[in-house]
Amino acid sequence: MKYRKVKKKKEFQKILGTGKRAYGGALTVVYLPAEETAMAVCVGKKYGKSVQRNRLKRLLREAFRSQAGSLARPCAFLLIPKIAEKYAFEIFRRDLYGIFKREKLTDA
Predicted model pTM: 0.91
**C-alpha pair distances (Å), 86 with each of 28, 57, 72, 99:** 16, 13, 31, 21
- Which of 22, 43, 35 lies closest to 105 in space, CA to CA? 22
Mean pLDDT, 10 residues at a time, the chain of 108 residues: 91 95 96 96 95 96 94 95 94 95 88
Flag whether 107 is in a domain: no
**DSSP H or E segment with residue 35:** none
Residue 8: which CATH number? 3.30.230.10
Q: Are 25 and 95 in contact (CB under 8 A)?
A: yes
Question: pLDDT tens digit string along 68-80?
Answer: 999 999 999 999 9
Flag whether 87 is in a domain: yes
**C-alpha pair distances (Å), 103 with each of 58, 73, 107:** 24, 12, 11
Q: Domain limits at 61?
A: 4-102
The tally of domains found in the chain comes to 1
In the prediction, which pLDDT does 2 show?
85
Strand ranges, E, within 15-72: 20-23, 27-33, 38-41
Flag whether 58 is in a domain: yes
**DSSP H or E segment with residue 81:** strand 75-81
Q: What is the CA radius of gyration of the chain?
A: 13
Flag whether 108 is in a domain: no
Flag whether 12 is in a domain: yes
